[in-house]
């Protein structure tokens, strides 16, 4: 097992299922089992979840009534809601879990403290990092990369609905070509959507590999960390 500590990033929309909004508990259960397979294999796991199934800051602020900063804080709170749900699902699966938030809310979770998060991981606990970076104008992709770097993760896995990175949208173009491996500079090109530019640049500066994979393939996360890279792409 090459990777002992990883950070897995899920979009908020991934929790919504076919409804497109809210939280589907069966998807929560599925994700928790996928995370459990990693923990059972001796891998230390951190998680970041987006909030798009509830609200996006950019969307909330698009007509000018809600300021962008307030919209982004609303989005951060959405990630906390998702984090609480994910914590419950992981505990239901038999895992020990701690959630840390970038904005203090002690009645719900611990505040983010790097040394404490690292200690939790060392003890085999899953750590969920919620509320983004705690700052507006930064995405949860950037938060995921930041936390991955801070905890010393060896790789960040972005779990999506597609089996990797393509040169164009495979849902729109039948001739879209999968890119099994690409550089950070290639990932920064406008037409290739891996993560936002800030998160990719941060990963590049810290030589943190980014793996993009299909979360719907059961066992895929563990397969990838065991070296089976068939259903993913890697940016490094």
pLDDT tens, 15-30? 998 878 899 999 999 9
Q: Is 114 annotated as a binding residue?
A: no
pLDDT above 70 for 190:
no
Q: What is the mean pLDDT of residues 195-202?
A: 93
Q: Is 101 annotated as a binding residue?
A: no
Q: Is 11 annotated as a binding residue?
A: yes
Q: Is 135 annotated as a binding residue?
A: yes
Domains and CATH numbers, the chain: 5-235 (3.40.1160.10)
Q: Is 79 annotated as a binding residue?
A: no
* Segment among 46-55, 160-169, 194-203 with least mean pLDDT: 160-169
Provide the 3-class DSSP secondary structure of residue 205. Answer: helix
In this predicted model, what pLDDT tens digit does every residue of 59-108 receive, in sequence order? 999 999 999 999 999 999 999 999 999 999 999 999 999 999 999 999 99
Q: Is 70 annotated as a binding residue?
A: no
Distance CA 167, CA 171 (A): 12
Q: Is 219 annotated as a binding residue?
A: no
Indicate the angle between helix axes 197-205 and 140-151, nearest 10 degrees: 10
* Segment among 55-64, 78-87, 140-149, 200-209 with least mean pLDDT: 55-64
The number of C-alpha atoms within 13 Å of 227 and in the hemisphere containing its C-beta is: 2
Report pLDDT for 2: 55
Q: Is 25 annotated as a binding residue?
A: no
Q: Is 129 annotated as a binding residue?
A: no
Q: Is 160 annotated as a binding residue?
A: yes
Q: Which residues contact 152 (CB under 8 A, 6 or more apart)?
A: 5, 118
């Amino acid at each position: 097992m090459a990777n002992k500590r990883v950070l897995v990033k899920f979009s908020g929309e991934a929790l919504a299922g076919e409804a497109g909004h809210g939280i589907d508990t069966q998807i929560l259960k599925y994700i928790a089992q996928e995370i459990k397979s990693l923990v059972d294999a001796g891998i230390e796991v951190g998680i970041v979840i987006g909030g798009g199934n509830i609200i996006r800051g950019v969307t909330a602020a698009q007509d000018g009534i809600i300021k962008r900063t307030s919209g982004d804080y609303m989005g951060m709170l959405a990630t906390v809601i998702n984090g609480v749900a994910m914590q419950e699902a992981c505990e239901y699966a038999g895992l020990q879990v701690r959630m840390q938030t970038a904005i203090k809310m002690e009645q719900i979770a611990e505040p983010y403290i790097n040394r404490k998060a690292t200690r939790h991981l060392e003890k085999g606990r899953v750590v969920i990092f919620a509320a983004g970076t705690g700052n507006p104008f930064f995405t949860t992709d950037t938060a995921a990369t930041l936390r991955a770097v801070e905890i010393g993760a060896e790789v960040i896995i972005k779990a999506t609905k597609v089996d990797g990175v393509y040169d164009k949208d495979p849902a729109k173009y039948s001739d879209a070509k999968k890119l099994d491996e690409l550089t950070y500079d290639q990932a920064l090109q406008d037409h290739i959507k891996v993560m936002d530019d800030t998160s990719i640049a941060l990963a590049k500066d810290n030589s943190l590999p980014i793996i993009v994979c299909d979360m719907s393939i059961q066992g895929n996360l563990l397969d990838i960390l065991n070296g089976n890279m068939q259903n993913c792409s890697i940016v490094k």
